[in-house]
């Protein structure tokens, strides 16, 4: 299809498509004449992925670019590619790592992961991300109890193994594997978050009897 048809099918304006082409988020179309290129279903699907990450997940363009670079680097083994994409989604709040509070919280995170027997790399940015949340909760006088963290962890592991991981074609095409992981992480994460807010509203209405 032509760029105008790609724009109509995806709802993405032509200048935005050209921007994604320049930034390498979208692969070039097949050049059929000096000023004409052909695009296909793969381009349409990539555009939908970009828009879903941007609009629903609020994932920054630079992060999306990192994920796509990992997909397109054919020399990168699948597990490294998935890890790279996954780590790109982390957004630790500017941590205060020298800080004694952060160091203590980080030790709690290590103990939690060890206690769960989870296999997480020492350099995973998620460790600091969780530690910084624990610091903020402490400062705000709403510390996370061990019981609550452990319960959250058990629930999330059940959901991850039952749904997220069951769908990833680990030995299939690179692009499909990373897409499934990223969509699962971002969009299903958002779905869970929205359901949580719906549950909070419902419980709050029940308690206040409105």
The verdict on 204 binding its own copies (CB under 8 A) reads yes
What mask, x for binding its own copies by CB under 8 A, covers residues 159 to 198?
Answer: xxxxxxx-xx-x--------xxx-xxx-xxxxxxxxxxxx
The verdict on 203 binding its own copies (CB under 8 A) reads yes
Choose between 65 and 108: whose C-beta lies nearer to its own copies.
Answer: 108
The verdict on 1 binding its own copies (CB under 8 A) reads no
- Helix ranges, the chain (H): 3-10, 14-23, 41-51, 61-72, 78-88, 100-116, 125-139, 146-159, 165-167, 174-183, 189-208
d(CA 104, CA 97): 10
The verdict on 22 binding its own copies (CB under 8 A) reads no
Torsions phi, psi for 148 (to 5 deg): -65, -45
Q: How far is the CB of 155 from its own copies (least distance, A)?
A: 6
Binding residue (CB under 8 A) for its own copies from 32, 120, 169, 173: 120
d(CA 200, CA 96): 31
Q: How far is the CB of 206 from its own copies (least distance, A)?
A: 6
* Tokens 């363009």, residue located: 61
The verdict on 126 binding its own copies (CB under 8 A) reads yes
């Amino acid at each position: 299809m032509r760029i105008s048809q790609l724009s109509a099918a995806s709802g993405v304006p032509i200048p935005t498509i050209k921007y994604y082409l320049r930034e390498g988020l979208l692969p070039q179309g097949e050049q059929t004449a000096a000023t004409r290129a052909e695009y296909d279903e793969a381009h349409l699907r990539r555009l939908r992925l970009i828009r879903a990450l941007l609009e629903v997940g609020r994932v920054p363009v630079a992060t999306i670019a990192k994920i796509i670079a990992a997909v397109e680097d054919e020399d990168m083994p699948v597990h490294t590619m998935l890890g790279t994409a996954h780590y790109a989604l982390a957004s630790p709040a500017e941590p205060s790592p020298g800080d004694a509070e952060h160091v203590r919280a980080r030790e709690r995170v290590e103990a939690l992961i060890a206690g769960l027997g989870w296999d997480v790399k020492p350099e995973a940015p998620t460790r600091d991300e969780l530690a910084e949340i624990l610091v903020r909760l402490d400062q705000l006088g709403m510390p996370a109890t061990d019981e609550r963290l452990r319960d959250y962890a058990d629930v999330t592991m059940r959901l991850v193994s039952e749904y997220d991981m069951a769908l990833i074609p680990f030995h299939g095409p690179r692009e499909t594997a990373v897409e499934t992981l990223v969509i699962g992480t971002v969009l299903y994460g958002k779905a869970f978050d929205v359901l949580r807010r719906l549950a909070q509203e419902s419980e709050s209405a029940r308690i206040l009897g409105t």
